[in-house]
Amino acid sequence: MPDLHQLSPASPIFIIGTERSGSNLLRLILNAHPAITVPHPPHIMAYFAPLEKFYGDLSRADNFSRLADDVIVHVQRHIYPWPTPLNKEALLQSAQPHDLFGLFAAIYEQHLASTDKRRWGCKSTFMIHYVDRILGRYPDARLIWLVRDPRDVALSSLKSVFNPFHPYYVARLWASQQKLGLALEAELASTNLLRVHYEDLISDAESTVRQICNFIGEDFNPAMLRFFETEEARHSAHLARDWRKTAMPIITGNANKYVSGLSADEIAIVEAEAGEIMDQLGYKKISTSHTVQKPNSLRRLRYRVGNEWQRLKVEYRSVREDRNQRTRWARRVRIVGLKVRLSLGLR
């Protein structure tokens, strides 16, 4: 086990990879550790990195202050309420560097200071796209690359409001993000990156969580496997249908559901788009060779129409069942409006 005294007490933990891979589960497991806080993420980098350039030179106080104002509003109106009131002046003073990632880090550090814990984590899987910025600020950060069979990711995505819907688009996103993960695994030291397969996490939870604890330099605590009893887990399950299982014990058989949940055509679509990366990560393809082929233009059009039709069905269900649906829609409108105003120089 790593010498805990050699690790910086500020070394944060990042869960990276692809959505619908068990990141909510792992977040709650880590959050149940007495030394670690992992609040539900407002995905600051995912939403604001494409907008960052429009704020101009962020070394200028006025530009950085405008960015801080918009990010604070985003966090305060997040679909999962941020647990800590944000102090803008303190954020402006503590943010290092003076850019979006520095502001992101300051928000998490401010939250940490309000708790009785000593480390923070982030489960925004999109951070796989910003590892260079993570390590530039936190050289000893711990990155947990969470991987799940893309066919089960595609099945889960069919009914989730937080990702693409059609297996074609899910597979393309999964393949591109796992390719990044493989490149990071080849480049980074084993002290920075650990690959964890969702299937191992649910089938042998204690051994896998002990491995994670060893990687992050913390003692294993049995409370981590009873995460579902925490107030955080109950609160999460109450907010959205997609999170309803967070207040349940680990479902050990929640793998290979795609065999009965996806059609043969859908499985072939995933394997056609993600097959090469599946091979590298140990996921065996089951489609016959003649069904695994890249789609032509007409078929891609069908996929797009199918994606939008599935989106409408899921959104309709969300209107009826999810408490945060209007907040989620308002966030989408706010981000689009902000992008337009910034690009036109109106903000």
How does pLDDT run across 46-95, given as a tens digit for each residue?
999 999 999 999 999 999 999 999 999 999 998 888 999 999 999 999 99
Query: What is the phi/psi pair of residue 226, to 5°?
Result: -115, 30
pLDDT at res. 291: 56
Whether pTM exceeds 0.75:
yes
Query: Computed from CA positions of residues 214, 218, 220, 225, in that sequence, does the dihedral angle turn out positive or negative?
Result: negative
pLDDT at res. 48: 97
* Token pair in block for residue 240: 């959205």
Query: What is the phi/psi pair of residue 58, to 5°?
Result: -80, -5
| Diameter over CA atoms, the chain | 61
pLDDT at res. 7: 43
Q: In the predicted model, is pLDDT for residue 342 greater than 60?
A: yes
Q: How confident is the model at residue 2 (pLDDT cuts 50, 70, 90)?
A: very low
Q: In the predicted model, is pLDDT for residue 122 greater than 70?
A: yes
Q: In the predicted model, is pLDDT for residue 206 greater than 90?
A: yes
Q: Which tens digits make up the pLDDT trace of 132-141?
A: 999 999 999 9
Domains and CATH numbers, the chain: 4-343 (3.40.50.300)
pLDDT at res. 11: 92
Residues 6+ apart with CB under 8 A from 150: 170, 171, 174, 175, 178, 270, 274, 277, 278, 283
Average pLDDT of the residues of the chain? 91
Q: Which tens digits make up the pLDDT trace of 289-337?
A: 555 567 888 888 999 998 888 888 888 777 777 767 778 788 889 999 9
